[in-house]
Structure 1
Amino acid sequence: MSIQQDRRELERKQKAQSDSARRAADLRTKEARKRVDAAKADQAAGRTRSPSQAQRKRREAVRAVEAANKYGRDASALEAKAAGYGSDAAKLQTRIANAETAERQRAARQQTIAQRAAQVQQRQLAQQVASSQERIAMSEQALRALSAPRAERLRILMLGASSEGDLRVTREHTRIRRAVEAALHRDQVEIDVRLSATTQDLQDGIAKFRPHVVHFSGHGDEQLISFEEDVDDFHSGVVVTASAFASACQATDSPPTLIVFNACKSSGTADALVDRFAPLAIGMTDSIDDGDALNYAAALYSSVANGQSVNSAHLAGKAAIELAGGEHELPYLATGQGIDPTTVILVKQPPTG
């Protein structure tokens, strides 16, 4: 039932309560009058010396009491109805208040998302202005080296951390692996999955696996992300700054091309990594629902493994969220100076023969 329907129902209940209370009050007045009439008749019967007159007055008193009792019963029934209507009205008022609160919260959330989106657009515009001269000066050879699909298999390091067990990181990695396995160029993609990821997993993965893409799924907040400790029990996790994460990713002869943060409020972290070294990074402008995060990640890597550009893969992920009725404005693609994500293709089927 909508808020408008609840409000109309509340008005109906309040009117019914008011009408029942008014009718009950009228009956109580009549009841009181009849009881006064009964008392007067009793008194008159006691004062008269005529037996017949006394008997008539007593019968008159009995009729008045019976009438008073009926008025009383009817008034009680109406008072009970009024109380029931009042109880229903109170429940409706609570439901309306809760719905109005939820509506205000949704509006505030949408406003926050819009503000963050505006901030993202401003950052993108600032990046475009700042990089315009560098784009011109950048050599075509360097641009072709980044844009061209890699001759080697694309290596994706997937890190999942949920120290309190409240995120479906295992499900996310399963969805991604299935999406890649169903893609055209599945044989050109290699995935190293590290669940319950610690900072040591990050460093080992960078050094040994030498990933082209680093994907982190877990908790984030502005320029902070949370890894796990190497313990069996649930715990609060280990907070890592965007700077420390960037330092770990840079500690290799071949730093990753793309960093993906499938974590709440991670757009600032994506910007920080692009400012430090990464050509491309993806983050979320606000808190993202688990289901939206799963849909985005699966569509992103499916598109990458089908030979699409990073920009098209990002748009495919957003479209997957929108098709499922989610908040598709949240994913944000940050690009380094001189980098055009529409030309960056990470996977291509190698020539045969």
Structure 2
Amino acid sequence: MTTESCRRDVLKHQQEIARLQTEKARETSKVADEKKRANTAADSARRATSLSSIQSRIRDVQKHEEAGARSQKKVADIETRIAREQIRLNDAHKRLASAEIQEGRQKGQEQQRAAQENARRMASLAGTVSQNHQLTMSALKKLEQLPRRIIVLFLAANPIDQQQLRLDEEVRGIEEMIRKSQHRDAVDLKSRWAVRPMDVLQAINEIRPTVVHFSGHGSDQDEIVFQDNAGNAKLVSKEAIVQTMAAGSDDIQLVFFNTCYSRGQAKAVVEHVPAAIGMNTSIGDDAARVFSSQFYSALGFGLSVRRAFQQARAALMLEGIPEEATPELFTTEGLEADNLILVQSVGAA
């Protein structure tokens, strides 16, 4: 299966679990209602004075108890279906991780072949210098102007017991805008889904990213919401995230917290990385998608981090999304964000 089809499969199972959870809540409510009605009928039977009234109330008690038992059985059936669906979801996550690893290997092989081809062309150019010096120097200059390559690590967590976010739309929007940028081959986006806390350092060590992008839920207590082994929410403190970034790769130049209430995390993490972006309040799905897509598009055109941040804010205004004041940009002391250019030509000053 392709990476994209695996992502769709993960989303399908997440949506089915959410639907079953809603159905379970509805049947659980019916159980409580029928129990309450049975108790009410029993009370009426105890107060009744005539035999016919007592018998009528007893029948009501039996009716509500039977209805409650039917709903309780449905709850048990739904829980069994949820458990099966969770197993399918876990399997889908494993297939996605495997597909991403395979895709990464293929990209690595393609890059290696491209590098070999580039080396061959350079050798050919060098061999014809004496015959056509001007043409050779022009070709070399173009090669020197190719931008340095950066890696963006997209870490997504969408626990099943939280409101479901459209994280697949966000990463799809980022990929599309990078493809449209001038230096699209210089920006390599790698994603990790259903992220658990221990996955973060593993991904950083494997990929050595230039940008670490967190996408998902955040709490108003400066926490990021990851997932536990069962797919439910697991809170990670600001201090843990800051320490993780401090212990991570020296290649990290920017940490992008595209999560609610992440201003404190972004402000704290610039003690260890050059720049960070965080949200000073909650942020909607559409705002998160538009802002991040335009930000990476601007980086792909070789703009500075500050210019990219300003363009991303402007994109929110152009789309009529009144959340342009929510994102905030922080830099380490003494560094101007105008001077931080992640996609920069080798020959640039």
For 1:224, the aligned partner's letter is E
Which whole-Å CA distance do the structure 2 matches of 1:180 and 1:171 have between them? Answer: 14
When residues 309 and 157 of structure 1 are mapped into structure 2, their CA distance, relative to the original with a 3 A threshold, is same
Identify the residue that residue 250 of structure 2 maps to in structure 1. Answer: 254
SS in 1 for 2:236: strand
Which whole-Å CA distance do the structure 2 matches of 1:203 and 1:150 have between them? Answer: 30
Q: 2:155 aligns with which of 156, 159, 172?
A: 159
2:282 equivalent to 1:287: yes
Identify the residue that residue 226 of structure 2 maps to in structure 1. Answer: 227
Q: Contact conserved, 2:294 with 2:308, CA < 8 A, in 1?
A: yes
2:305 equivalent to 1:307: no
Query: Pairwise mapping of residues 324-339 of structure 1 onto structure 2 (< 5 A)?
Result: 324-326=319-321, 327-339=323-335
Q: How far off its partner does 1:230 sit?
A: 3.2
Which whole-Å CA distance do the structure 1 matches of 2:169 and 2:163 have between them? Answer: 12
Identify the residue that residue 345 of structure 1 maps to in structure 2. Answer: 341
Q: 2:187 aligns with which of 186, 189, 203?
A: 189
For 1:303, the aligned partner's letter is A
Q: Contact conserved, 1:150 with 1:347, CA < 8 A, in 2?
A: no
When residues 263 and 252 of structure 1 are mapped into structure 2, their CA distance, relative to the original with a 3 A threshold, is closer
Q: Contact conserved, 1:322 with 1:328, CA < 8 A, in 2?
A: yes
SS in 2 for 1:215: strand
Which whole-Å CA distance do the structure 1 matches of 2:218 and 2:190 have between them? Answer: 22
Q: How far off its partner does 1:252 sit?
A: 3.6
Identify the residue that residue 168 of structure 1 maps to in structure 2. Answer: 166
For 1:241, the aligned partner's letter is S
Identify the residue that residue 59 of structure 2 maps to in structure 1. Answer: none
SS in 1 for 2:325: coil
Q: Contact conserved, 1:161 with 1:219, CA < 8 A, in 2?
A: yes
Q: Contact conserved, 1:150 with 1:346, CA < 8 A, in 2?
A: no
Which whole-Å CA distance do the structure 2 matches of 1:209 and 1:279 have between them? Answer: 19
TM-score (norm 2): 0.54
Which whole-Å CA distance do the structure 2 matches of 1:219 and 1:166 have between them? Answer: 9
2:311 equivalent to 1:316: yes
- The unaligned stretches of length 5 or more in structure 1 are 1-148
Query: Pairwise mapping of residues 231-250 of structure 1 onto structure 2 (< 5 A)?
Result: 231=230, 235=232, 237-250=233-246
Q: Contact conserved, 1:162 with 1:228, CA < 8 A, in 2?
A: yes
For 2:257, the aligned partner's letter is F
Count of equivalent residues: 199
Q: Contact conserved, 1:304 with 1:313, CA < 8 A, in 2?
A: yes
Which whole-Å CA distance do the structure 1 matches of 2:167 and 2:249 have between them? Answer: 29
Which whole-Å CA distance do the structure 1 matches of 2:146 and 2:254 have between them? Answer: 13
Which whole-Å CA distance do the structure 2 matches of 1:288 and 1:150 have between them? Answer: 36
Which whole-Å CA distance do the structure 2 matches of 1:268 and 1:252 have between them? Answer: 19
2:202 equivalent to 1:204: yes
- The unaligned stretches of length 5 or more in structure 2 are 1-144
Q: How far off its partner does 1:162 sit?
A: 1.1
User: Root-mean-square deviation (CA), in Å?
Assistant: 1.9
Q: Which moved more, 1:305-314 or 1:220-229?
A: 220-229
SS in 1 for 2:286: helix
Q: How far off its partner does 1:251 sit?
A: 2.0
When residues 218 and 200 of structure 1 are mapped into structure 2, their CA distance, relative to the original with a 3 A threshold, is same
SS in 2 for 1:299: helix
Which whole-Å CA distance do the structure 2 matches of 1:285 and 1:150 have between them? Answer: 37
When residues 330 and 258 of structure 1 are mapped into structure 2, their CA distance, relative to the original with a 3 A threshold, is same
Query: CA offsets, 1:214-267, max 9 Å, x none?
Result: 000111124211111233x5x2x1111121112222224515110001111111
Query: CA offsets, 1:123-164, max 9 Å, x none?
Result: xxxxxxxxxxxxxxxxxxxxxxxxxx9974101110011103
Q: Percent identity?
A: 33
For 1:186, the aligned partner's letter is R
